[in-house]
């Protein structure tokens, strides 16, 4: 059973979002997503400074098995990316919700947070 | 409706993540594809390959039949047990399947063909066989376990029945031996030494447990694919199909052109292709930048033309991405691959990357 921290928000496409105290949002893929993908070997991160809309494909994570797009859960500007993943993409397998974060966003509107799923809803979503 | 091999319950018990493969419920991995890959390169792993099709061909004219059916020549097989890799072609030279055939005796050959091509293979073989009076016997109730890796044989003989151990002792590579209800080939699809063990279905789950107890770890289809690709072995349906001839699929070496008077199915078509000049070839690619090569990505060869990746992956042994690609025959040492709109540099190499645990 994969881990689903209750303090985070989620998307149906298996991204997680953590709202930080400074109003920015940290984004990654869920433990369930990394389990589905298997051993990660490559991450293509978005460019810092790019403005992206919710739903945009912004990042690619590839396992030995397959490539998968990561979608922007919310609209905003990319303000930081987790460069460590370039050399150590397997960090996502080991720590999807923590060291394996992908990028940070300055949200353009807070309204969209209402569209995200809470932990219970996401858990129901991925249940067989 | 997916079929299950007799080892299905074992896969579930050992934590296998089951997926549909060619109409069979098979384990893609038991946790980590990467660990299973290294296990086979460095120690010993086992694969359930019971979904593959085993066909016994018997009759007085069975050799003559196979010399007509296959592009390689079973006349090369002089010693009982010796195995041969061959393509089975259509009249137009397209590849129906690739297979292994073992010479058992003058009236009996055993063939192993792919699971995904079962129906069309059996239809084709059954269509050709009557003219030669050959009896086609599909051995559906036989299970098959491939035990592969540098320590595979050492570990397997600890748990095989004594008569089987005696039969396989000193058996050379690419031979097989019939041990009554069991059959063991020193063959595989990983680039490592090992056995492919055929045995009655009823005995397979117990052997699986014994092998696991001896330190042979269960491995899934995921690792099987990265291992075969590192070894430069073709995968039917990806690297060759009915639409491609063996000459543009890196399989020219499997065609026995001599003797010239041997008539085999597809001969006229591929002879004509050879005379007109073969336009493409299969090469190995090593990506020189970060990224992962995948099947169907476009290959760009400057000033020459374009090609396509037929199989690509991340190589756990080389820690770089590798691929097999069909490219123009004139392709030299370098090319570029279009990955999501970006052209990345790749080195063109012979299509074999790893053998017996070592980078080639």
Model confidence pLDDT, tens digit, residues B284-302: 999 999 999 999 999 999 9
The model's pTM is: 0.94
Rounded mean pLDDT of B205-226? Answer: 98
**How confident is the model at residue B1, as a pLDDT?**
64
Q: Where are the alpha helices (DSSP H) in chain B?
A: 8-13, 33-42, 62-69, 118-128, 152-156, 162-168, 204-213, 221-230, 267-276
Q: What percent of chain A has pLDDT over 70?
A: 97
Q: Which residues of B touch A (CB under 8 A)?
A: 28-29, 32-34, 37, 222, 226, 290-292, 294, 313-314, 316, 321, 340
**How confident is the model at residue B268, as a pLDDT?**
98
Weakest mean pLDDT among A101-105, A115-119, B207-211: A115-119
Whether the pLDDT of residue A114 is over 90: the answer is: no
For the stretch B44-103, pLDDT in tens is 999 999 999 999 999 999 999 999 999 999 999 999 999 999 999 999 999 999 999 999
Whether the pLDDT of residue A24 is over 70: the answer is: yes
Asked if the peptide bond before residue B259 counts as cis, ω within 30 degrees of 0, the response is yes
Whether the pLDDT of residue A4 is over 80: the answer is: yes
Residue positions counted in chain A: 128
**How confident is the model at residue A2, as a pLDDT?**
79
Rounded mean pLDDT of A97-102? Answer: 97
Query: Would you say the ipTM is above 0.90?
Result: no
Residue B314 confidence class, pLDDT cut points 50, 70, 90: very high
**How confident is the model at residue A3, as a pLDDT?**
86
Kindly report the nearest CA distance between residue A25 and chain B, in angstroms: 27
CATH dotted code for A9-108: 2.40.50.100
**How confident is the model at residue A1, as a pLDDT?**
58
d(CA B51, CA A105): 48
Which one of A38, A60, A67 has the shortest CB-CB distance to B33?
A38
Residues in CB range of A65: below 8 A, 6 or more apart: A37, A38, A39, B28, B33, B222
Residues of B in contact with A42 (CB under 8 A): 290-292, 314, 321
**How confident is the model at residue B109, as a pLDDT?**
98
Q: Under an 8 A CB cutoff, do A39 and B294 touch?
A: no
**How confident is the model at residue A109, as a pLDDT?**
76
At residue A46, φ and ψ (nearest 5 deg) are -70, 165
**How confident is the model at residue B358, as a pLDDT?**
87
**How confident is the model at residue B103, as a pLDDT?**
98
For the stretch A60-89, pLDDT in tens is 999 998 899 999 999 999 999 999 999 999
**How confident is the model at residue B80, as a pLDDT?**
96
d(CA B309, CA B323): 7
CB–CB of B231/B90 below 8 Å?
Answer: no
Q: What is the mean pLDDT of chain B?
A: 97
CB–CB of B348/B335 below 8 Å?
Answer: yes
Kindly report the nearest CA distance between residue B297 and chain A, in angstroms: 12
Helix (H, G, I), strand (E, B) or coil at B258: coil
**How confident is the model at residue B2, as a pLDDT?**
87
Rounded mean pLDDT of B154-168? Answer: 97
Q: Rounded to whole angstroms, what are the CA distances from B165 to B156, B170, B201?
A: 9, 10, 19
Sheet holding B45-48, edge to edge: B176-179, B182-185, B194-200, B142-148, B45-48, B217-218
Extents of the domains making up chain A: 9-108
How many Cβ atoms from other residues are within 10 Å of residue A72's Cβ?
Answer: 25
Whether the pLDDT of residue A128 is over 70: the answer is: no
How many Cβ atoms from other residues are within 10 Å of residue B160's Cβ?
Answer: 24
CB–CB of B115/B291 below 8 Å?
Answer: no
Whether the pLDDT of residue A7 is over 70: the answer is: yes
Residues of A in contact with B292 (CB under 8 A): 41-42, 62, 67
**How confident is the model at residue A110, as a pLDDT?**
67
- Name the token pair of B211: 């092998």
| Interchain contact A121–B (C-beta under 8 A) | no
Q: What is the mean pLDDT of chain A?
A: 94
Residues of B in contact with A64 (CB under 8 A): 33-34, 37, 222, 226, 313-314, 316
Residue A112 confidence class, pLDDT cut points 50, 70, 90: confident
Which one of A44, A60, A64 has the shortest CB-CB distance to B226?
A64
How many Cβ atoms from other residues are within 10 Å of residue B77's Cβ?
Answer: 19
Whether the pLDDT of residue B309 is over 80: the answer is: yes
């Amino acid at each position: 059973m994969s881990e689903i921290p209750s303090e985070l928000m989620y998307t149906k496409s298996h991204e997680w979002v953590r709202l930080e105290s400074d109003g920015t949002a940290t984004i990654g893929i869920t433990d369930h997503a990394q389990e589905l993908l298997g051993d990660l070997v490559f991450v293509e991160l978005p460019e810092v400074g790019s403005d992206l809309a919710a739903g945009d494909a912004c990042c690619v994570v590839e396992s030995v098995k397959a490539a998968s797009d990561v979608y922007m859960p919310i609209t905003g500007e990319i303000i930081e990316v987790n460069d460590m993943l370039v050399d150590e993409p397997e960090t996502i397998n080991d720590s999807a919700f923590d060291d394996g974060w992908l990028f940070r966003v300055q949200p353009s509107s807070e309204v969209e947070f209402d569209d995200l799923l809470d932990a219970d809803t996401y858990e129901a979503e991925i249940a067989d | 409706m997916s079929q299950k091999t007799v080892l299905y319950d074992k896969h579930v018990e050992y934590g296998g993540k089951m997926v549909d493969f060619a109409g069979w419920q098979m384990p893609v991995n038991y946790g980590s594809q990467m660990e299973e890959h290294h296990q086979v390169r460095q120690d010993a792993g086992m694969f359930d390959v019971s979904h593959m099709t085993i066909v016994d061909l018997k009759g007085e004219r069975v050799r003559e039949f196979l010399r007509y059916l296959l592009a390689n020549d079973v006349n090369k097989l002089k010693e009982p047990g010796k195995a041969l890799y061959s393509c089975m072609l259509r009249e137009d030279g397209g590849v129906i399947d690739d297979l292994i055939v073992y010479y058992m005796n003058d009236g009996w050959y055993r063939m192993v063909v792919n699971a995904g091509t079962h129906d069309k293979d059996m239809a084709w073989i059954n269509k050709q066989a009557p003219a030669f009076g050959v009896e086609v016997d599909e051995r559906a109730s036989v299970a098959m376990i491939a035990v592969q890796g540098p320590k595979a044989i050492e570990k397997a003989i600890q748990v095989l029945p004594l008569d089987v151990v005696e039969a396989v002792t000193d058996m050379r590579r690419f031979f097989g031996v019939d041990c009554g209800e069991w059959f063991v080939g020193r063959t595989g699809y990983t680039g490592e030494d090992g056995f492919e063990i055929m045995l009655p279905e009823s005995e397979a789950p117990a052997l699986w447990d014994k092998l696991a107890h001896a330190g042979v770890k269960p491995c899934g289809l995921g690792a099987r694919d990265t291992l075969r690709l590192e070894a430069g072995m073709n995968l039917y349906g990806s690297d060759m199909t009915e639409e491609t001839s063996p000459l543009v699929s890196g399989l020219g070496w499997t065609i026995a052109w001599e003797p010239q008077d041997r008539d085999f199915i597809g001969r006229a078509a591929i002879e004509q292709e050879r005379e007109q000049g073969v336009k493409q070839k299969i090469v190995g690619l090593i990506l020189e930048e970060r990224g992962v090569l995948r099947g169907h990505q476009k290959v760009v060869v400057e000033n020459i033309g374009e090609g396509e990746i037929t199989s690509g992956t991340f190589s756990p042994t080389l820690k770089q991405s590798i691929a097999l690609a069909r490219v123009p025959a004139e392709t030299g040492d370098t090319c570029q691959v279009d990955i999501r709109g970006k052209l990345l540099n790749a080195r063109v190499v012979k299509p074999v990357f790893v053998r017996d645990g070592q980078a080639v």
